[in-house]
Structure 1
Amino acid sequence: MRVLSLLSLFVFGIVAWAADAPTELKIETTYAPESCPVKARKGDKIKVHYTGTLFDGGNKFDSSYDRGQPLPLTLGVGQVIKGWDEGLVGMCEGEKRILTIPSNKAYGSRGFGSVIPPNSALVFETEMVSIDSVSKDEL
């Protein structure tokens, strides 16, 4: 009986540990195209489809798919949260990644309106739709 109790505590501890909010950006590639002639880099104008959920609870708060339009942005210039500026670098057109973003690389202690509570870690399923690459001279 004592062994069973200890085993239960051990398993519960692992589950609780696994559910802790991330402290660093985690990038998981879920699809990589066979050909990748251009990789996204700072300064590129890109279009990204995404679905954003809260790390705690998994509630969806936004999705470009719902609007039927990818989000256009210039990568690495602060137009989006830091987790995106870092997590989308190196992606190929057609590539899909899951970005698990700690609060300090998302909206931090301010949150975002009533949609994202303060100090929330976020999870984004992303798909690189297009890359308009800048030349080295333009950087």
Structure 2
Amino acid sequence: MTRLASAAFTYMLIGVGSGLFYREFTKAQGWEEGAYTQLGLAHTHLLTLGFIVLLIVLLLERAFALSRSRMFGWFFWTYNAGVVLTSAMLIWHGILTVLGKESSAMISGIAGLGHIFLTAGMVFLFLALLKAIKRAPAVASAPAAAGVSAA
């Protein structure tokens, strides 16, 4: 659980930092405010896919002990590789856009690889979750658990 919390905190810091970079870099380059660049997308990807998703996974870990599954390790590393690759390519492409330079197909290819890793990571997460749900003891219905009889 500490690894998940640390990763979520790291993504929160990097996500907020990337938002600051986006604002200050575009201002310093004389970029028209509100004009499109992928730098803003990196900010939201890091905060949503990194920070928020990992906080949700932390809650799932607390409830279901997902890390007992071998799939969880695969999820953690594959998913994080996807977040890092995708966000790095958004930042790289955004910087090139603001500087008025051409992007290359390589950036799109690496970003696509990042999305593949994200997708695979999510599949591993659901495999771990399904295994944990099957492993979890059945919970009694709410009225029975509260001591209310059906008669």
TM (norm. structure 2) is 0.24
Give the structure, 1 or 2, with the largest relative contact order (CA under 8 Å, sep 6 or more): 1
TM (norm. structure 1) is 0.26
- Greater fraction helix: 2
